[in-house]
Amino acid sequence: MKRFLNGTLLSSLFLSSSFALEVNLTKNLPYVNVDVNGKNVRIERIQDTKHKLRNSYTKTSRPCPPFCIQKMEPIPGIHTVSEIDVVNFIKDKVENNEGLLIDARLPQWYMQGTIPGALNVPFSVLSISLGSQYIDQMLELFAAEKKNGKWDFSDAMDLLVFDNGPWCQQGVAAMKNLVKLGYPKSKIKYYRGGMQYWQILGINLLKPKKTIGRDDE
């Protein structure tokens, strides 16, 4: 049974050599079209070859702690992926209702822009120690089932988690929370590059209107 929530998407690949751009995602992939809440959104790179970042992601030196550089695979058993893997995940997993792209940042970050189709599930929403009231709601969204008071993750969706980038702790905190809840590491992937690398490579963003865990206004 398909599950729908704000930010959930179905994606479709549009690939044709006749539509190739100057700045493609890969040699044979100019862009990907995704359907986000009934609206067509294209994932593509900025075509201005002289374009440079001018936002906060140009910053090179944030205080550590808390903004320390993450290991390539900060949680053993959770595989780290690239930008093209993110695109393929949207195309192969999300399209087939088998996966969710999770933006684990706090809402104030998310609302500034995110990867098209990402679902905002702040790391704190999954924290047992904070007594989050949303944990059951999120695990049900991820297609986990509660049986005899315990969560069964046999048919749970694959998750691809990201945050601001290699200096950000929010995605790792979200994954640690998921593992504590019993979510299988084999069903979680980590996009370490996050928003920083996504923008450095000139891939477009989506500015969301709503976020998970916020009341409708």
Stretch (H or E) spanning 182: none
Alpha-carbon distance 29 to 51, whole Å? Answer: 21
- 170-205 residue pLDDT tens: 999 999 999 999 999 999 999 999 999 999 999 999
Domain annotation for the chain: domains and CATH numbers: 62-200 (3.40.250.10)
pLDDT at 75 over 90: yes
Q: Which of 111, 103, 101, 120 is nearest to 34 (CA)?
A: 101
pLDDT of res. 41: 85
- The pair phi, psi for residue 42, each rounded to 5°, is -105, 130
Burial label for 150, CB within 10 Å (0-12, 13-18, 19+), is: exposed
DSSP assigned state of 99 = E
Q: Compute the average pLDDT of residues 60-69.
A: 95
Alpha-carbon distance 90 to 118, whole Å? Answer: 9
